Amino acid sequence: MFSSALKSLSSNISTNYQISPHPTAVSGPWRIHDGKKKSTGTAASIFIFDKKVLEPRSSGLGNRSSSALKKLQEDVVERLKREAGNLARLRHPSILQVLEPVEETRGGGLMFATESITTSLAGLLQAKEEQERTSRGGSRPSRYVVGEPDGTRRRKDIEIDELEIQKGLLQVAKGLEFLHESAGLVHGNLNPEAIYINAKSDWKISGLGFAGPPDSSDAKSSLPPLAISEVLYQEPRLPHSVQLNLDFTSPDFALDSNVTTAADMFSLGLVIIALYNSPHVSPLQAHSNLTSYKKLLSSPSSTPSQSNNFLCSGTIPKDLLTHLLPRLITRRPAQRLNAREFQQSQYFDNVLVSTIRFLESLPAKNANEKSQFMRGLQRVLPEFPPTVLERKVLGALLDELKDRELLPLILQNVFAILQRIPNARRTLPEKVIPRLKEVFAAQQPGKGPVPDRDSKKDAGLMVVLENMNFVAENCSGKEFKDDILPLIRLGLDSPTHSLVDAAIKCLPAILPVLDFSTVKNEVFPSIATTFSRTSSLAIKVRCLEAFTVLCGGSAGDGAASEDDLSGVVRENKSPSAKPSILDKYTIQEKLVPSLKAIKTKEPAVMMAALRVFRQIGTLADTEFLALDVLPVLWSFSLGPLLNLRQFEEFMALIKSLSWKVEREQAKKLQELSSGGDTAGFQNGSGGFLSPTNDLMQSDLDNTRNNFERLVLGRETGASSSPGTDPWQNLGPQASATQSSSQKPPSATFSWSSNGATAASKGASPLNLSARSVTPDYNLSAFPSLEPATRQKSPMSQTFSTLQPSPSTSWNLPVTANNKDNARSINMGTTSGASMEALANMKASTTSMYGQTSQQAPNYSAFSIPPPPSTSNNVGSFTGPGASAHVNRALFGQVNPAPTTSFISSPPQPQNTQKEGLDKYESLL
């Protein structure tokens, strides 16, 4: 509906301005919409008059009356045009400012644009009256939900209190003074509908449709004189909003028909009474009837005066009641105050009003007066209502930011105001930040040539940096990144050390607002550049503290609040761990190289770097810690200026990181060895050969038992299948023999499980034709190997050395598996590296030899022939000599012993059989 109506009112204003669909306020015949200029984004208010409001309700009048009504409507339109034209010609801070002159629309309506306003005084009083009627809470903010040009709705708060009234009345009086003395005009219709309140909470005079020169004026005026008889007549066919408001009219007009400037002062007195009256209306209720108005003034009881409290049901302040109103609400014009005298009244004699008056005249003051005013303003700010601070004081201070000499003082007051107003989160980005950008834009890096340093701008920037916590709390991330972060970078790039220090101190406040990419790509490089470039010891320490924060630490970790740059700090309880801001790559590839480049050995720098490395130690890889971090820590710890306590702190961190590296590396190697892969064989870890050696040791015991039974002529306790014996050389060791009658304790084998051991008591031994032992054979693939029937051996002997034959191949049965087995075992016995691996076998393999020998399944691939009846030797005990080092490593023996070799080829004859039997007997 509104869009179609707006098309009928098409004009240049509707083309150049974005207009909200809903009116903000309705004042008289005007509907006021919020607007915004499309080209500049300047906020404005669009006054729209629709001629349809002048159409009367249906009546039985004929054509004659309709022609007369049309003439009245045209007069109204002309008067409204004159009102907008008068506003456009008059320029004063207390007169509503016109941005676009009045235009006629296609439907016969009118439209003009003014500065942005919030509401009229009549609308404010009406909202306050409704609020008082519902809550009876006294002076509370009046809320207005207004339509934005983009179609959104926003709430505006207006609070009217005593200071707001004082300030507003003072501004209206200034406007009247300008009209009376400078413009030579009488307003003629001053009432709450003719007073508007703008976004800065300033009261502005408008409604100049009935303005004209006074009767006593001799100067020529561009406006025609006011025809009293015409304006006093109330036309019933026209709306009351386009006619003179008799409730606020002076008796000079109604009774004397005189147009004087004193008439406006009488109207101002009635406006003051309406502010405190309940309801907020004039004490003279004429109901648009001139006769009723005259009747009211004819009776003392219905005429407002000091004796009847000016017919006000509310409480009027004493100064108004005793000093001002009696000299405004008076029948004789000569007894009334003029606008200038009104401003000098005792009612306005207080520090808050005087502060506002001085602030309004601040551009006309000299530099010394401005400086004194700004210094003293901070002491009186707590006494101001928040609404006055936000709408009046803050706006005036922001307008003065162009004065570079006062920049730091103004910014101190600006942030003091922001901390006192409730909606600072909206005020800061909308009003303050754009002005800060204008002030510091020329100094931002990368924008044109670098200008000379301005000490006043630097001081202003220092104020901004000191209040960065407040700014970060009241800004969104995008606003902070786009508008505030450049100011911090400006401080980091400054040659002034105090600015750099203040910029780095902002880091804990700004990190929660920024995202990771911004911190990594914009914040960290700036700090790193400052760290590498500065020659100031204090700045280096501050940068290192920033690095600690970026790595997840705290700015106060281990640092005293007052750093004397000695590096000696008190121990603080470490706070709870926080996640690192920087990623591992940035820390290892960019941060640590910067720390390596530190050349100074000052204790303060060394200890600050220690705190950074302490955080890095919790984040970096162990390999990086071992190769890159620990060498740097050792270098720093040997600094000649460190004391004992500082050195001990370095050593504590070095030990902690070294232990971490050791633990991680051991865990890694343990995981690799427990996996059972071939890496253990190739790396000589023994992970493969240890269980294999257990199996070989069991075969040795089995072969020895069979041999003893053979040479002693005893029967075997259990049948054993022929097998393959991988060992060819055995060396006996002279040791004490154990009694054959003693029962040995149960032996524990590394290759047998608990369940298999228990089941082996009644099970027959497992017979295999061949046993495959290959380097890549997994232990889990072997079948469960259990000892056979455990028998008492007649003689138990410990073999001290065991050495594979370096040259003789084992005589295995010729099968496919045996060929592979022989090849595998040959490789293991002939390879020097394999022997080194055998040297690492676990001690559990040797412990079995300390127990009584047991009968085990014979997996040997060859059989030892029985000894001949007369002169054949069973075997030779003079085998080729092997390395004693290997034997000692295998069996844990210290003294070397002669080696014994079981030859798979036919036994060689010996010259003396007795020597061999004597050797047997020595074994027995």
> pLDDT tier at 915 (50, 70, 90 boundaries)?
low
DSSP state of 738: B
Q: How far apart are CA 701 and CA 718, in angstroms?
A: 15
> pLDDT tier at 274 (50, 70, 90 boundaries)?
very high
**What's the token pair of residue 547?**
């690095």
Q: What count of other Cβ atoms lies within 10 Å of the Cβ of residue 742?
A: 10
Sheet holding 98-104, edge to edge: 17-27, 30-37, 43-49, 110-114, 98-104
Rounded average pLDDT over 867-877: 45
492 neighbors 439 (Cβ within 8 angstroms)? no
- What pLDDT, on a 0 to 100 scale, did the predictor assign at position 239? 86
Rounded average pLDDT over 559-574: 45
Q: Is the pLDDT of residue 395 over 70?
A: yes
State pLDDT tens for residues 37-76. Answer: 999 988 999 999 988 888 775 554 455 567 888 888 888 8
**What's the token pair of residue 854?**
């047991």
DSSP state of 153: E
State pLDDT tens for residues 612-657. Answer: 999 999 988 989 999 999 999 999 999 899 999 999 999 999 999 9
Question: Comparing 522 with 905, which gets the higher pLDDT?
Answer: 522
Least confident of 94-98, 401-405, 857-861: 857-861
> pLDDT tier at 787 (50, 70, 90 boundaries)?
low
Q: Is the pLDDT of residue 661 over 90?
A: yes
Of the ranges 506-510, 789-793, 809-813, the best mean pLDDT one: 506-510
H or E element, residue 46: strand 43-49
Of 190, 119, 191, 192, which Cα lies nearest the Cα of 159? 119
Residue with tokens 């865990």: 667
> pLDDT tier at 157 (50, 70, 90 boundaries)?
low
**Can you say whether residue 285 is alpha, beta or left, with left for phi > 0 and alpha for psi between -120 and 50 degrees?**
beta
DSSP state of 758: H
Q: Residue 638, class by beta-carbon neighbours within 10 Å (0-12 exposed, 13-18 middle, 19+ buried)?
A: exposed
**What's the token pair of residue 55?**
């159409």
State pLDDT tens for residues 577-591. Answer: 567 788 889 999 999
Q: Is the pLDDT of residue 683 over 90?
A: no
Q: How far apart are CA 171 and CA 706, in angstroms?
A: 125
Q: Is the pLDDT of residue 165 over 70?
A: yes
Q: How far apart are CA 69 and CA 55, in angstroms?
A: 9
Three-state DSSP class for 35? strand
Of 563, 559, 617, which Cα lies nearest the Cα of 592? 617
Q: How far apart are CA 543 and CA 664, in angstroms?
A: 32
Name the packing angle between helices 485-492 and 524-533 (round to 10°): 10
Three-state DSSP class for 110? strand
State pLDDT tens for residues 211-257. Answer: 888 887 766 666 777 777 777 888 888 888 888 899 999 998 888 88
